[in-house]
Structures are given as structure tokens and as C-alpha cells.
Amino acid sequence: MEHLTRTIPFADLYIAASKETPARFSCSGASGGYEVHIEAGYAGAYGLGERYDALNYLGRSAEIAVEEKFCRQGDKSYCPMPFFWTDAGFGVWLDTARVTRFGFAPGEIVISVPASCEIHIFTGTPQEIVAEYMRLTGAPALPPDWAFEPWISANHWDSRAKLEAALGEAERHGFPVGVAVIEAWSDEATFYTFRSDELWPDPAGMTAWLHERGVHLVLWQIPVYKQLEPHEPRNEQLERDWAEAMERGLCVMNADGTPYRIPEGHWFAGSLVPDFTNPETVKSWFDKRRYLTELGVDGFKTDGGEFILSGEARFFDGTTGVEGRNLYPQLYTRAYTDFLKPGQVLFSRAGYTGAQTTPMLWAGDQLSTFAELKSQLNAGLSASASGVIFWGFDIGGFAGELPEPELYMRSTQLACFSPVMQWHSEPDGGQFKLLQPGMEGNNERSPWNIEKAFGLTGYAEKIRYWHLLRMELLPYIRGQARLCVGRRMPLMRPMAYAFPSDARCAGIDDEYMFGDTLLIAPVTAPGVTSREVYLPAGEWFDFYTGERFEGGRAVNIECAERIPVFSLSGLLRRQG
């Protein structure tokens, strides 16, 4: 594969249209930086990190800036990347952490760059371009086999008793559980000490109890030295942590030498932020968390990280806040990845270039609506187009009123054929009760709670079908996961990526390949009983019935009870 690299600013960067590079590139000075212009005929532009508003960015623009946005992300992203590829056989990556902007007009792409950086111009197929991008930005991490089993989580599990009750319900209803994520386990101050002996007695015994049942334990984390709210009780250990961070320079600082604090109006306002470019910070931070691994904890859910919001911020290694805004999530998750022991996992929300090196990504916070389900599918496919191999989302949505049963079913079906299958829910009453009220009382997004809330006898059994199917698919998913890491390919593959020679695939954003064999056609709107599915050239078989279909055409498939799934050449079929 041809790989061209140039450095900007250029006197006049110009690459003529050719068989190897089917585009014309030029660079010129612009207000506050430079503009790269690319003249090319293309029908699709993909990547740019995890994008919620679209998969194909033709006719759109994107700002590459890490941003924490609670629900309805639109054009915001927890995990943006200055990388894209097109159906015209070329791609671009800007090797910079500064905020950049991309505009994709028909026939022309304009990239705004605030300062000189290295621009990598790729040519080849989407598979070649994404693999080369991943080679340059870091080897992907392979999660342990158990990470592909069903995950369960709910923010209101604030005691061992509630966790055990939830697992008891799962067992009673016949649901397999491979992973339990606990968010409300800590003292809500240091985030490394269990809440209390009364609520969480004998953590080591609890972890052993989970392992005896085949359940792996993942604990929630956040990268702050927390500023307590006025109503929160004093925490002496947190006070010692603050003193250590300021005295030893373990936190991100300002240019004037004062500690950087998360600005007002943002999550964890007033808190200090650990500086993971400082080796002493890394040692102090993980010395306090090492005992969790010794207890048998199987991994961490690394939430947050979108906390650098001032160009005046300064890091130990000389990085400024201008670069730190985008770099920080990767500094944070890289430190945790390095801390992991073999067999542990990381599940992260924010990221940037190189997100494939920090095992698994999830889509963050969405409302329980069909519109948000479509945005989750966009996010998963665009993240995959950007080199993220392992990705998941919250079944039924994280926030607001409980999802309607139809939404929950469609979301479960999508999750069954995603790298991570997980249900999760916000705190009772809402994550931000005044801004976005949620459901009062038990809002757990468990199948049995949906059944109870809507009075639908037998509903949980219908949902169980997809969890049991997930277990049947595990050998395929695990085998494909290993191949994906070795070949530097995503597990979820947009159709334009999987079938680049088929022009019809450039505009398809509601189908994808799940590994080499399965074509998935999710349903992301209410009331759908049949849908059109485009089958590229080849021999396809209905995954459930074995019915044969000749490819190169669209077919209409009944989908009232299940989403359409096809197996290429009949290599994999539903058993029974």
C-alpha cells in the first residue's frame, strides 16, 4: 500500500490526481492557522472518531474536540479523531492533539489546522487505510474472553445486598451474566475506598462469591481529586490526597502555578485533575488502587476524562491545555491500561487517536428513545471506521423514563450483535435531576424490571432469547476478536468498509458486518414489521431459517419479532 506523509505548512502542498492518490491536495495559510484543501470525487467520508449524528459525513462538518455531553450528543463526541477515509480510495490523519475542523462538501474537503503538524495521506482500500492508521497509532488490545459475555449494571446498586438481589433475579429468570459493573461502590470522595463496611461487607469474599458463579467484577472510576459539594460530609483521606497532589505537583496546574480546577458548569466542578504525564502521579494513584486488583477485581469502568477545558492548563511533561483537551482521555486510559494485569479489562467512555490501544469503548449517556438508539448505531459504526475494535452501549438507553418494551427489545437485538452486550441505568430520579429528570423509584434497565413496570407477563422470556443467543455466538465472537486484533480490523464493519467495490454500500448506515460472516440489519424506529436489506454480491443465508438469497440486490424481510441477520455463504447459522 502507498503511504504518503507530508508536513504542513507547505510552500504549496500539491499532489496531483493519480492512480495512487485519487485527489488533489493543496495547503495555504488561513486566519489563525492553515487550511488543507482536497479536491476529489467521493460519495462517502467515514471515521472522525465516535460520531452520533451520522456515519457518512458527506455534506457535514466536524470539530475534533473532546467534549462531555449528557445525552443528545448531536455533533459532539467523547471520542473524536482527526482521521477519515473515503470511498474514493484515500484517507487522511492529522498527527496533532489540537482542535481541528473538517468540512466535507461535494467534490471538496477542507481541513482547518491551527498549527503546523504532520499530515498522513493514505491510499488503498478502507481495510488497508484503517489498518495502516492503527499501525501508526498503536497496537489494538484484545480483551479477555469473558468480556464478550453479557454485562449487567445499574447505578442504584449501592450495596452488596442490592447487587446480590439483582444477580438472584437474573438466575431466577434464566439470564446468563458474565460481568457485573458496580458504579456506586465507593465512598464518592476518593473513589478507591468502598462506601462502608455495612453496605459492602467483605469485598474479597464478595468477589470470590461472584467468581464462583462465573461473574466478573468491574468497578467504576473517575479521574479527579474531588471537590466535595457543600452537603457532602468531610473526608479526611480525600483531604490528605488533595494536600499530597498540591505539595508534590501530582495534579494538572495552571500557567500561573496554581492548581487547575474543572470549571464551573461542568461535571465535578472545582475538582483537581491528576496529571498522568507525571510518573509520581501514576505511582501514587495506582498504589491506592492496587489492593482492588489483589481483591480479585476484574477491571475498571474508566468514566469521564473530558476535563481539560482551558488552554492555560499545564502538564508535567510540558503539554499545555491546548493539546491536553484531546490528549487527556488517552493519558488517563493509557495509565489504567498499563496498570491492568493479564485477564483484566478496561471499559472507557472518552478517547482520542489511538483509542484502540485501551481495550473497550462505550457510547456514554443516551436517553431511552428510538432517536438515541439510531445515534448509538451511528456511534458504533463511526468508531469502528476509526479503528475502535471493541465497542458497546447501554441497552435501552441510560437516562430518562424507562424504555418502552419495543425500544428495549430492538436495543437488545442490536446489542446481541455488538462487541459488548450490556444494560445499564442512571441513578434513581435522574443523573441530573433538575436538568433532565429521570424515573423515580427503581429505574433499573433489567429485562425483569421492564416486564414488571409495564405489566407484560412473559416479556423477560422473550428478551432472554437474545441473551442465550449471545452465549451461542461466543465462539464466533471470540475467534473473530482475535482475528480482528491480528489484522487490525474492527469487529463491527460499516458496509462501505466491508464492500468498498460496491457503490451502493457508500450510502448504507443501517446495516453492518459483524465479523467476516454475519450481516446485521438493526431496527431503530418504532412500529417496523418489515425492512429492506441490501445484500452485496454473493450467496447469503437467513441466519434463523437457512433460506438462501442471491446477493447483489435488496430484499424485503419480515422483522416484527427479530432483526434481519444473514450469514455469508451459510458459514454460521442459528442452532435450533
- 3-class secondary-structure state, position 181: strand
Chain segment 180-214, per-residue pLDDT in tens: 999 999 999 999 999 999 999 999 999 999 999 99
Instruction: Tell me which of 365-369, 475-479, 571-575 is least confident.
Output: 571-575
Chain segment 434-485, per-residue pLDDT in tens: 455 555 678 899 999 999 999 999 999 999 999 999 999 999 999 999 999 9
Exactly one of 241, 303, 444, 511 is catalytic; which is it? 303
- What CATH number should be reported for the domain whose range is 3-136? 2.60.40.1760
Average pLDDT over residues 547-573: 93
Candidate CATH numbers 3.40.190.10, 3.50.50.60, 3.20.20.80, 3.30.1490.100; the one for domain 145-353 = 3.20.20.80
Consecutive H or E run containing 36: strand 33-39
φ/ψ of residue 390, rounded to 5: -120, 115
φ/ψ of residue 157, rounded to 5: -75, 85
Exactly one of 275, 306, 444, 510 is catalytic; which is it? 306
Candidate CATH numbers 3.40.640.10, 3.40.190.10, 3.40.120.10, 2.60.40.1180; the one for domain 491-568 = 2.60.40.1180
Q: For the chain, how big is the Rg over CA atoms in Å?
A: 24
Chain segment 374-387, per-residue pLDDT in tens: 999 999 999 999 99
pLDDT at 8: 41
pLDDT at 439: 59
Name the residue among 379, 394, 484 with its Cα closest to residue 431: 394
pLDDT reading at 19 higher than 50: no
Chain segment 471-509, per-residue pLDDT in tens: 999 999 999 999 999 999 999 999 999 999 999 999 999
Query: pLDDT-derived band of residue 5, with 50, 70 and 90 as boundaries?
Result: very low
Other CB atoms within 10 A of residue 158 CB: 20
Task: Please give the C-alpha separations between residue 452 and each of 242, 449, 511, 574, in angstroms, as whole numbers.
Answer: 45, 5, 32, 30
Separation between Cα atoms, residue 533 and residue 551, nearest integer Å? 10
- CATH 2.60.40.1180 domain locations along the chain: 491-568
Query: pLDDT-derived band of residue 432, with 50, 70 and 90 as boundaries?
Result: low
Considering only residues 436 and 296, tell me which one the structure prediction assigns the higher pLDDT: 296
Separation between Cα atoms, residue 416 and residue 433, nearest integer Å? 31
φ/ψ of residue 337, rounded to 5: -60, -40
Please state, rounded to an integer, the average pLDDT across all residues of the chain.
Answer: 93
Give catalytic status of residue 306 as yes or no: yes
Name the residue among 213, 204, 142 with its Cα closest to residue 178: 213
Average pLDDT over residues 146-162: 97
Exactly one of 365, 509, 510, 542 is catalytic; which is it? 365
Considering only residues 28 and 211, tell me which one the structure prediction assigns the higher pLDDT: 211
Q: What is the DSSP letter of 551?
A: S
- CATH 3.20.20.80 domain locations along the chain: 145-353
Give catalytic status of residue 303 as yes or no: yes
pLDDT at 18: 45
- 3-class secondary-structure state, position 29: strand
Query: pLDDT-derived band of residue 115, with 50, 70 and 90 as boundaries?
Result: confident
φ/ψ of residue 188, rounded to 5: 60, 25
- CATH 2.60.40.1760 domain locations along the chain: 3-136
Average pLDDT over residues 308-328: 98
pLDDT reading at 179 higher than 60: yes
Average pLDDT over residues 269-280: 98
DSSP for 311-377 reads: TTEE-TTS-BHHHHHHHHHHHHHHHHHHHPPTT-EEEES---TTGGGSSEEE----BSSHHHHHHHH
Query: pLDDT-derived band of residue 9, with 50, 70 and 90 as boundaries?
Result: very low
- List b or e across 58-67, with b for residues whose CB sees 16 or more CB atoms inside 10 angstroms: bebebebbbb
Number of helical H runs and strand E runs in the chain: 12, 28
pLDDT at 427: 82
Give catalytic status of residue 510 as yes or no: no
Separation between Cα atoms, residue 158 and residue 182, nearest integer Å? 8
pLDDT at 430: 66
